[in-house]
Chains A and B, each alone.
Chain A
Amino acid sequence: MAAGTTSIKPTQVVVPETPAELQRVPLVGNLRSFGWISNRVASLCEDKAPVWWWILFIPSALCLGMLLFMLSYQISTGVGVWGNRHPVMWAWDIVNFVWWIGIGHAGTLISAILFLLRQRWRTGVNRAAEAMTIFAVMCAGIYPAMHVGRVWYDWWLFPIPNANSIWPQFRSPLMWDVFAVSTYFTVSVLFWYMGLVPDLAVMRDRAKTRLRQFFYGLFALGWTGSNRHWSNYEKAYLILAGLSTPLVLSVHSIVSLDFSVSQLPGWHTTIFPPYFVAGAVFSGFGMVLTLLIPLRSIFKLEDLITMRHIDLMCKVTLATGSIVGYAYSMEFFIAWYSGNPNEQFHFLNRALGPYQWAWIPMVTCNVLVPQLFWFRAIRHNLFIVFIMSILVNVGMWFERFVIIVIGLHRDFLPSNWNYYHPTWVDIGTYVGTFGLFFTMFLLFIRFLPMIAISEVKGVTPQSDPHHPLGGAKVKEHTAQ
């Protein structure tokens, strides 16, 4: 229907009412207009920083400072300042590495896989989730780089041609980690930045100070919103989505190979790659929920991050949590079925051994808690969802602890058996990475649009030319 014809007036169109049970909850509530969306999202970075932002930012920055102190202490003094020991040679360092990298899964999954699957609801949450991914991967990346005994030789892990013709050991999963994590980080940053370009142009166009104009202008890369720009943008976005999709699956699969390639009971299992990816998506969505539930109410974004978004994310959490639960039970089953006494001992030792206190919260938080998401009432109770989303990440932290520490503390020869305790430096470093994460995230919500303005506009009813209200057929809806 061309807009130029005069025979039919929009008001005369009779829209057959869809039965209520078939009606989809719109992805943008309250039929918000394009202008409202731009204003709402952009103003978050343009207004004066609210007091709560400072209240969160200052402690976060202090924690970041603590992280720097902890790392300098560890690098200058030795890995011994941490609690890891013989035989638990990896402990909080690798636990936290895997935990953060798991959290870093949701963003790219949301932006890439859901994009390819045409899950349009992703637009409301993808920007913040991607930012979270990047910051989580940064936190994760610190650990493998810093946990080694001689940090200054980390570059030996890269295949750099050198006079000695010594190459890294390509059979080592740690080597694969280097590639997997760095590729994942690079592609995630590119993908995130690609998506930001049109929005940076919006920010540039709205900028009132020279400084903002300069920086937003610089990073907007001369975006004008021309058809050619949009056409190139969409193609590039699709290609990057295609590239990121296998990376989402590969990065945690490869991290899981750090364990499954080894010989240890509890580590040496083929189930790890899918199980780790499911766990990572699980914890990633948990973290997205943790971050977005408060933000949407503080920033009054309920119309952009609707209850439908929350509901869908809860369902993903439920699905992945159930996969994780299945994996736990399969581990026990296989240990029994294999007849391998070392495997059997390991799994019994998880449940009955000295680290029972870590195994119980793992099972509770990762298997039992998400099952509550079967209930719609729970999915729609933001307070409960918020608490549960935190429990998911608590559970996932314990999962990594259980795998790594319980796997190592009692292995083949009982003479080696030992009990691990963290030190204040372990704890300080972990808390410090939260400082890094939240500092980065708070800066992100201050200076960059935390919701993809252009993409959200694309999922409003009015942007669909076939929609009765779509195209240029209606005036701006003003029902406020």
Chain B
Amino acid sequence: MKTHSVPSFQQESGRAYWRSLDALAETPEFRLWVEREFPEGASEWTDPVSRRQFTKIMSASFLLAGLGLAGGGCRRPVEKLEPFGKMPENYIHGLPQFYATAMPTQTSAIPLVAKSNDGRPTKLEGNALHPDSNGGTDRYAQATILNLYDPDRATRFLNGGKNAPAEAALDFLAQLSRNAQSNGGQGLSFLADRTSSPSRLRLQKLIQTKLPQSKWYAYEPVDLDLHRRAASQAFGQSVRPYYAFDKADVIVSLDCDFLGSEEDSHNHIAKFSSRRGIEKPSDSLNRLYVIESLMTVTGFNADHRLRVAGSAVLQAAAALAAEIIKQGAPNGLENAGKPAGADPAWLSGCAQDLLENRGKSLVVAGHRQPLAVHLLAHAINAALGNVGSTVMLLPVEQVAEQGIVELAQELNAGRVDTLFILGGNPAYNAPADLDWAKTQRKAKTVARLGYYEDETSTGCDWHFPAAHFLESWGDARTADGTLVPIQPLIAPLFGGLTDIEILARIAGAAVADPYSIVRETFAGFVGGGDLEASWRKFLHDGFLQNSSSKPVQAQLNTGAVSQSLAAMKVEAPTKDKLEVAFHRDYSLDDGRYNNNGWLQELPDPATKLVWDNAVLVSRKTAAELGVKNSEVVEISVGGRSVRGPIWVQPGLADYTLGLAFGYGRKQTGRVGTGTGFNAYAIRTSQTFGFAPGATLRSTGETYPLSCTQDHWSMEGRPIIREANLEQFRKKPRFAKGMEIEDGEEQRSMYPNPFDQLKEKGLHQWGMSIDLNRCVGCSACMVACQSENNVPIVGKEQVKRGREMHWLRIDRYYSGRPLAPKGTEQARVNFLETFHREQEQQFEDWIENPQVVTQPMLCQHCEAAPCENVCPVNATSHDQEGLNVMTYNRCVGTRYCSNNCPYKVRRFNYFDYNKRPLKELYLGPFGHRKDDEWDLIKMIKNPDVSVRMRGVMEKCTYCIQRIEQAKIAQKTRAGASGDVVVPTDSFTTACAQACPAGAIVFGNLKDPESRVSKLKQLDRDYSVLELLYTRPRTTYLARIRNPNPKMPDHYYSEGPSTLQEYDQKHADPFREEGAAAERGAESAGKGAH
């Protein structure tokens, strides 16, 4: 178990012993500590009585000073050292502590275990104890810790744009509360973002009772609450859907990016992937059909993907419904029309498959789609008997609320006296037709709780800094309804407040401190019993046992479906009436992570663009409009326009423009300033998901975009090996058969010295990556960045190919048409390989390609090509099989990188840690500001060196974790000598974060370890085995599961990467007897 109990010297509150950074700097004790030459007590040591005291304090302060150095500037606790006079139980200096907490999301939460090094949280991991979690997380959860230490976050109370003392701000709240109590909340409105917090719900209800005249409005630019509203409407009671992707054999996504941008995607990935990790040929796989307009992570993983405009998804859904719902079909299905450009046979094949898997199938609709599509999905699920088996309906308690449109009407009517904005950033992301920045000012007083001083803050009378969830008490419910605590790891660095505290103060509640509020809510959950004991268990475990919601039975309300269909009208987009599809950004979400450098530099899983969004178009659309990559275009829709650079995205629906949210912020921090363009500028309350009737005009300007992967095709090389399920069943070891060089490894004249050395190692570390489980979500990349102090380098440097990610996700498109030798197509294919990367956007085959993804990191080769070329022995092998990198010894010849066939080594071209991104080229004249420095130092993992410029770095298999595990085992072993780390007792940061369980790390010497077993699987292969590097990281080949009855041709002949390979090399599925023949044939050809 990773968690320890809370250090117990102040058990009850658990928060008084933390101090904020400001307080730390200002306390007289600290000043004294800094200014005095000797610690307190030292100068009094002549007094014999105080000598003991002196010794005690000196030893403690030296220990602390030592910790400070070792931690690279970690924050010194402000206590007068008493805590260390009486050592708290389970506290060991230098060892991190782990606390269970949770990250709140819109309608759910991610249960977490936070790592704390001497009082500062440094890393977040999923809480695997949670009943509905496998310990995986998403990108945002891994990166949010950087927001905690963001020097640009709101750090002060503001009144009318000027600094105000916290007392004054709290007085204002008290006044507001008194006024509201006196008039029942008349004229008081709240605009809040969404949360699943039961405490907030409780306070909301309290406010409704105490201030009945007050009004509550909820707004989220990415409307994930739609799922609840749709389910409630479809089933006529307040329920929300909970999808059991692990129980579904056939999944149909109606523009639903459930593996990427939907709520709880990490949870969906875990469940989806649990059905993809095929081990034996007899195992079954689920099958995923995706109907979508953009190229999403879910689309990557589709066994069949239908590319249609976002508006046509309704028609596709109607077509499916028409074939599936035989009895009591909703009215209006036939009026929907047929989706443009879609093969009717595709849809009926899909419908047939669903019908054959009644009760074991699942149809999901995405948040971008209108309510009608959601209702159709529910209708189909109900008709197939999936409700109750793959779709659970969980009851949800709802308080009356309205949306931002209604609030705008109220504001315009002058009926709002005081508007309290809790979170969110409506001035940036509210529908453009509301003209929010102005509308907001129509309230007499606007107060806001915000994490940043952003676009909305400027129009506020009062601004309260919000606390990060790692600084505040709170609670939330995960998707299955389980109650999870939000436990602070550190006191608010800048004295921020939380929404529940503010609501409690306004409601005039008896207790207004968040800790007590949360505890009170908790008490309501557990009822009687020993509250203290169950509370402590709750905090320790990070969830309340058996608190998940119980599914309810409900009947589909067909009338609601028919009603929603009647209102729908679909117009197919054309060249002159383009359709804009708005989407949640894979990195910045709705813009809340705009100032997060890790996420800004995290490549979009599909486009691989960083630091910017772009106008995504298909090749055909770009060709017809005469635009090409990086060309700045102006998109006009409904009288509003926005400018952005073009990016041709393979697999996008024609006449669709994909615009990601989150960029183009007017007022943000130093990281986010100047990135991308604001897609909200053309999004109105009427065109929330997609906007039809857009026109596009080239401005003639260009805007440079930074992309981390320039080349799209794998060029027929057997890097990612995949086959269809039937092919796999025919020849399970096909991946081995795709090796370029047949036969046994040639015996070298010079045996590798490592072969003898490795006999001595107690452990042999290795990794297995299941390409069939990996969906390409990129959580591992951020986890690695957070764990290993990997710096960001900025847009300009990424453009120069200098990103530092130790782990990257390679994404390839495949689908170049096959052609017999000598044909014109063969000539085109041949030449296209040699094109410059910029030419790919014009190539025909990218219209509708298949996508594969592959995490690529140091392969820890046993015969590592990097090692023998380093002139100073900076990279070498240890006896446990790690290719270790000695940063201190590296002089930076970069030869190792040149000789690394996987190119996974990263070079510090500049002092990325020491200099701000904009001043990299200033060399010694570039300096980070002090506020930035203080916070940057706090986030570093003290167990990993921070590298200076001129040094090569790369994945170490998280050697710090390996060493910690070994040391811990040595301590446990004592005299017994049993120093072998227990099987699978720890793992690397990437493997830990992976929700799919695709990355498995462990001891190869232990036959019981999961990695040893995975490496025995038929699908196991190593990349570039032809070089005999003998990598310790191997991959499990990808198996697709297409439906043989479907019309799309290449699915039936095997995945297109396999066909490309076949065209260049040989068919791995040829009969065994043909092997000799194949050799003769290739000799005849002179080459493969």
Assembled-state Cα–Cα distance A279/B1001 (Å): 49
Interface-facing stretch out of B373-381, B493-501, B868-876, B977-985: B868-876
Q: Tell me the chain B residues, 563-621 only, with Cβ under 8 Å from chain A.
A: none
B321 interface residue (CB < 8 Å to A): no
Q: Which of A148, A166, A339, A415 is the one whose CB lies under 8 Å from B1087?
A: A339
Q: A150-B951, A414-B712, A417-B837 are in contact. List 5 more A-B contacts (CB 8 A).
A: A79-B909, A86-B803, A89-B898, A408-B898, A412-B902
Given A150-B892, A339-B1088, A353:B903 Cβ within 8 A: no
B332 interface residue (CB < 8 Å to A): no
For residue B474, give the distance in angstroms from its CB to the closest CB of chain A. 41
For residue A406, give the distance in angstroms from its CB to the closest CB of chain B. 11
For residue A377, give the distance in angstroms from its CB to the closest CB of chain B. 40
B352 interface residue (CB < 8 Å to A): no
For residue A449, give the distance in angstroms from its CB to the closest CB of chain B. 40
B861-898 CB mask vs A (1 if < 8 Å, else 0) is 00001001111110000000000000001111111011
Q: Which of B797, B802, B894 has the most chain A CB within a 10 Å cutoff?
A: B894
The answer to whether A414 touches B872 (Cβ under 8 A) is no
| A167 contact set on B, CB distance < 8 A | 873
Q: Which of B873, B892, B902 is the one whose CB lies under 8 Å from A148?
A: B892
The answer to whether A172 touches B868 (Cβ under 8 A) is yes
Residue in chain A with minimal CB distance to B1082: A339
The answer to whether A175 touches B800 (Cβ under 8 A) is no
A147 interface residue (CB < 8 Å to B): yes
Chain A interface residues (CB < 8 Å from chain B)? 73, 76-81, 83-90, 147-151, 153-154, 156-157, 166-169, 171-175, 178, 258, 261-264, 336-337, 339-342, 344-345, 348-349, 352-354, 408, 410-419
The answer to whether B950 touches A89 (Cβ under 8 A) is no
The answer to whether A414 touches B1086 (Cβ under 8 A) is no
For residue B335, give the distance in angstroms from its CB to the closest CB of chain A. 47
B899 interface residue (CB < 8 Å to A): yes
Assembled-state Cα–Cα distance A344/B833 (Å): 12
| B714 contact set on A, CB distance < 8 A | 414
B1043 interface residue (CB < 8 Å to A): no
| B800 contact set on A, CB distance < 8 A | 80, 83, 85
Residue in chain B with minimal CB distance to A166: B873
Assembled-state Cα–Cα distance A86/B808 (Å): 13
Q: Which of B856, B869, B951, B1024 is the one whose CB lies under 8 Å from A173?
A: B869
For residue B388, give the distance in angstroms from its CB to the closest CB of chain A. 44
Interface-facing stretch out of B421-429, B540-548, B916-924: B916-924
Q: Which of B812, B921, B951 is the one whose CB lies under 8 Å from A414?
A: B812
| B812 contact set on A, CB distance < 8 A | 414-415
Assembled-state Cα–Cα distance A412/B714 (Å): 10
Given A173-B869, A262-B898, A262-B899, A77:B907 Cβ within 8 A: no
| B922 contact set on A, CB distance < 8 A | 77
The answer to whether A419 touches B892 (Cβ under 8 A) is no
The answer to whether A341 touches B797 (Cβ under 8 A) is no
| B1024 contact set on A, CB distance < 8 A | 412-413
The answer to whether B889 touches A156 (Cβ under 8 A) is yes
Assembled-state Cα–Cα distance A167/B890 (Å): 13
Q: Would you list the 7 A-B pairs with minimal beta carbon distance, nearest first? A: A149-B892, A149-B950, A77-B923, A80-B909, A415-B810, A89-B894, A85-B801
| B1064 contact set on A, CB distance < 8 A | 341
Q: Which of B717, B801, B901, B1027 is the one whose CB lies under 8 Å from A86?
A: B801
The answer to whether A172 touches B871 (Cβ under 8 A) is yes
Residue in chain B with minimal CB distance to A154: B891
| B1027 contact set on A, CB distance < 8 A | 263, 412
The answer to whether A169 touches B899 (Cβ under 8 A) is no
Assembled-state Cα–Cα distance A345/B713 (Å): 14
For residue B838, give the distance in angstroms from its CB to the closest CB of chain A. 9
Number of interface residues of B (CB under 8 A): 72
The answer to whether B1087 touches A78 (Cβ under 8 A) is no
For residue B82, give the distance in angstroms from its CB to the closest CB of chain A. 42
The answer to whether A414 touches B715 (Cβ under 8 A) is yes
Assembled-state Cα–Cα distance A415/B1057 (Å): 14
Residue in chain B with minimal CB distance to A84: B894
Residue in chain B with minimal CB distance to A93: B894
Q: Which of B810, B836, B865, B893 has the most chain A CB within a 10 Å cutoff?
A: B893
B30 interface residue (CB < 8 Å to A): no
The answer to whether A174 touches B869 (Cβ under 8 A) is yes
Q: Which of B856, B899, B901, B950 is the one whose CB lies under 8 Å from A150?
A: B950
Assembled-state Cα–Cα distance A408/B811 (Å): 20
Given A77-B924, A149-B949, A352-B834, A87:B903 Cβ within 8 A: yes
Assembled-state Cα–Cα distance A88/B909 (Å): 13
| A80 contact set on B, CB distance < 8 A | 797, 800, 802, 909-910, 920-921, 949
The answer to whether B903 touches A262 (Cβ under 8 A) is no
The answer to whether A419 touches B903 (Cβ under 8 A) is no
Residue in chain A with minimal CB distance to B924: A76
B1065 interface residue (CB < 8 Å to A): yes
B711 interface residue (CB < 8 Å to A): yes
| A344 contact set on B, CB distance < 8 A | 1087
B831 interface residue (CB < 8 Å to A): yes
The answer to whether A413 touches B950 (Cβ under 8 A) is no
B844 interface residue (CB < 8 Å to A): no
| B264 contact set on A, CB distance < 8 A | none
B719 interface residue (CB < 8 Å to A): yes
Given A79-B892, A86-B802, A148-B892, A157:B871 Cβ within 8 A: yes
Q: Tell me the chain B residues, 72-124 only, with Cβ under 8 Å from chain A.
A: none
B906 interface residue (CB < 8 Å to A): yes
| B709 contact set on A, CB distance < 8 A | 415
Given A77-B924, A419-B837, A174:B895 Cβ within 8 A: yes
Assembled-state Cα–Cα distance A86/B797 (Å): 10
Q: Which of A175, A414, A416 is the one whose CB lies under 8 Å from B871?
A: A175
Residue in chain B with minimal CB distance to A416: B903
Residue in chain B with minimal CB distance to A73: B923
A-B contact pairs, 15 of them (CB 8 A): A78-B909, A78-B910, A79-B894, A79-B950, A86-B803, A88-B801, A150-B890, A157-B891, A169-B871, A264-B898, A264-B901, A336-B1086, A411-B903, A415-B812, A416-B903
Assembled-state Cα–Cα distance A175/B920 (Å): 31
B710 interface residue (CB < 8 Å to A): yes
B908 interface residue (CB < 8 Å to A): yes
The answer to whether A86 touches B903 (Cβ under 8 A) is yes
The answer to whether A336 touches B923 (Cβ under 8 A) is no
The answer to whether A337 touches B951 (Cβ under 8 A) is no
Assembled-state Cα–Cα distance A116/B1026 (Å): 46
Q: Which of A174, A263, A345, A418 is the one whose CB lies under 8 Å from B893?
A: A174
B740 interface residue (CB < 8 Å to A): yes
The answer to whether A153 touches B871 (Cβ under 8 A) is no
For residue A280, give the distance in angstroms from its CB to the closest CB of chain B. 21
B943 interface residue (CB < 8 Å to A): no
The answer to whether A149 touches B908 (Cβ under 8 A) is yes
Q: Tell me the chain B residues, 301-345 only, with Cβ under 8 Å from chain A.
A: none
The answer to whether B872 touches A418 (Cβ under 8 A) is no
The answer to whether B871 touches A174 (Cβ under 8 A) is yes
| A172 contact set on B, CB distance < 8 A | 868-871, 895
| B835 contact set on A, CB distance < 8 A | 354
Assembled-state Cα–Cα distance A81/B714 (Å): 31
Residue in chain B with minimal CB distance to A150: B950
For residue A250, give the distance in angstroms from its CB to the closest CB of chain B. 18
The answer to whether B834 touches A147 (Cβ under 8 A) is no
Residue in chain B with minimal CB distance to A175: B871
B1020 interface residue (CB < 8 Å to A): no
The answer to whether B717 touches A414 (Cβ under 8 A) is yes
For residue A430, give the distance in angstroms from its CB to the closest CB of chain B. 18
| A154 contact set on B, CB distance < 8 A | 891
Q: Which of A79, A264, A344, A419 has the most chain B CB within a 10 Å cutoff?
A: A79
Assembled-state Cα–Cα distance A154/B709 (Å): 33
For residue B858, give the distance in angstroms from its CB to the closest CB of chain A. 13
B150 interface residue (CB < 8 Å to A): no
B292 interface residue (CB < 8 Å to A): no
B155-198 CB mask vs A (1 if < 8 Å, else 0) is 00000000000000000000000000000000000000000000
Q: Which of A78, A90, A178 is the one whose CB lies under 8 Å from B894?
A: A90
